[in-house]
Amino acid sequence: MSITINTDEKLALKKLQKQVQERWLYVRITSILMLSEGFSVFQISNILGIDDNSVYRYQKAYNELDLTVFLSRDYQGYFGKLDSVQLGKLCAELNSKLYTSTQEVCLYVQKTFGVKYSCQGMCHLLERLGFSYKKTKSVPCKADKSKQEAFLEQLAVLLAEEDTVVYYTDGVHPTHNTRSLNGWILKGEEREIPTVSGRDRVNINGAVNARKPCEVFIEEGKTIDAQNTKALYEQLIQANPTAKKIYVIADNARYNRNKVLQEWLENTKIVQVFLPPYSPNLNLIERLWKFTRKKIIDPIFYRTKEEFRTAILSFFKNIDQFEQELETLMTLNFRTIHSQFN
């Protein structure tokens, strides 16, 4: 498969190719230029990271359309059995209502437009329209974006103070059991992972340095309460003898506001800073808990609770081995959320 371009048009396309910033336009132009140079469809699709059908569509459109139209967003390629108006309605439907299976979308299209798609064909169409099959994201129903933004402004002030240190704290209760995960498994095969019937938990109260993600303190206990929290705070004081203040960012759990704990804090250099209600997205240590689960809890089978507990404690004791990953994960970049159900 090849294409013929006159010299002037080829020079114009090459000039435009060097100037464009939009990837979609660069790919479109480069596909035509490569075809004119005798590259195969297979070579072009591999080099540009697109599918073979896209190359064929570009070739057909270039031959049939005015160059200005071909290079504009008005030309969107071939989307199959639906026209542009129908595609717009389909996109609006998918953006307003959650469809949990491709079959449901096929039924909607057949009922609404009288057009029948196979599930595989619909998958290809949805991908070309920019949709992907992924999990929904849970957000607290009472999240308040304005309060979260105000907290982030306060955080910036705290981080700028000299001779102070900031920690994020939270409790976690990992359960002694494995969980099924997604992974690359040979088609037709099953990857089995053993489980246990127990529901035993390990209770850990933790703190992570906002600036040093491998500086983690944990306090294990039968439960997480004010006394356990006090023991964790004592670790922070001992580790920071020269700090003028130790800011501890905490959620609004009852034990964090315990009267006895508050009285003890009055005579220390620890200052509690409470997160806005319903704002786990602003607690940096939540990322550490998820990272822990991903690394040593979900994918590994521990026959006894003691093996499970030992693995968790060992993970935090040797957390420096994950320094590179944690420095990428534990940045002070937060996304505020606002619930539409507020």
CATH number of the domain within which 155 lies: 3.30.420.10
Classify residue 79: in a domain, yes or no: no
Do 287 and 152 lie in one domain? The reply is: yes
Segment of 97-101, 174-178, 239-243 carrying the highest mean pLDDT: 239-243
Average pLDDT of the segment spanning 119-124: 84
**Sequence-distant (≥ 6) Cβ neighbours of residue 310 within 8 angstroms:** none
H helix runs in the chain, sequence order:
7-19, 23-36, 41-48, 52-64, 67-70, 84-96, 102-113, 119-128, 145-160, 226-239, 259-265, 285-292, 305-317, 323-329
Residues 49 and 179 in one domain: no
Strand partners, 245: 164
- Cβ neighbours for 180, distance < 8 A, ≥ 6 positions apart: 193
pLDDT of residue 79 exceeding 60, the answer is no
Asked whether the beta carbons of 207 and 285 are under 8 A apart, the reply is: yes
Residue 127 and residue 91: Cα distance in Å, rounded? 12
In a domain, 2, yes or no: no
CA–CA distances in Å: residue 63 to residues 15, 91, 105: 20, 29, 34
Say if 15 falls within a structural domain.
yes
**pLDDT for residue 341:** 44
CATH at residue 19: 1.10.10
Contact 287, 329 (CB under 8 A): yes
Looking at the fold, whether 161 and 247 belong to one and the same domain comes out as: yes
165 and 113 housed in the same domain: no
107 pLDDT higher than 50? yes
CA angle 42, 48, 54 (to 5 degrees): 65
* Statement to judge: residues 180 and 302 lie in one domain: yes
Does 334 fall in a domain? no
Q: With respect to residue 238, please indicate whether it lies within any of the assigned structural domains.
A: yes
The predicted-structure confidence for 214-265, as pLDDT tens digits, reads as follows 999 999 999 999 999 999 999 999 999 999 999 999 999 999 999 999 999 9
**Of the candidate ranges 99-113, 138-152, 178-192, 218-232, the one whose mean pLDDT is the lowest:** 178-192
Give the integer Cα–Cα distance in Å for 189 and 334: 40
Q: Is the pTM of this model over 0.85?
A: no
Q: How confident is the model at residue 2 (pLDDT cuts 50, 70, 90)?
A: low
Taking the C-alpha atoms of residue 166 and residue 212, their distance in angstroms, rounded to an integer, is 10
Judge if 198 and 314 occupy the same domain.
yes
Residue 139 resides in a domain: no
Say if residue 169 is in the same domain as residue 308. yes
User: Helices 102-113 and 119-128 meet at what angle, rounded to 10?
Assistant: 90
Q: What is the pLDDT of residue 156?
A: 92
For residue 78 the two structure tokens come to 């071939």
Assess if residue 255 is contained within a domain.
yes
- Token pair of 136 as six digits: 């929904």
304 and 155 share one domain = yes
Domain membership flag for residue 150: yes
Any bridge partners for residue 203, and if so which?
221
Listed residues 20, 39, 70: the one ending a domain = 70
- Please tell me the total count of domains within the chain: 3
d(CA 305, CA 311): 10
Give me the residue label for tokens 């059995």: 81
Q: Which domain holds residue 304?
A: 145-329
- Number of continuous H segments (helices) and E segments (strands) in the chain: 14, 5
Dist. CA 112–CA 305, nearest whole Å: 55
One domain for residues 198 and 289: yes
Q: Domain check: are 161 and 302 in the same one?
A: yes
pLDDT, tens only, 309-341: 999 999 999 999 999 999 999 999 888 876 554
- Verify that 13 and 59 share a domain, yes or no: yes
Higher-pLDDT residue of 227 and 188 is 227
Task: Supply 327's token pair.
Answer: 């420095």
Residue 253 gets which letter from DSSP?
A: -
Looking at residue 74, its pLDDT comes to: 56
Let me know whether 162 and 247 are in one domain.
yes
Distances in Å between the Cα of 44 and the Cα atoms of 1, 59, 132 are 11, 12, 24
Least confident of 34-43, 137-146, 246-255, 258-267: 137-146
For range 29-44, the mean pLDDT: 90
Return the number of other C-beta atoms located less than 10 Å from residue 69's C-beta.
11
- According to the model, what pLDDT value does residue 118 have? 84
Pairwise CA distance, residues 228 & 64, whole Å: 73
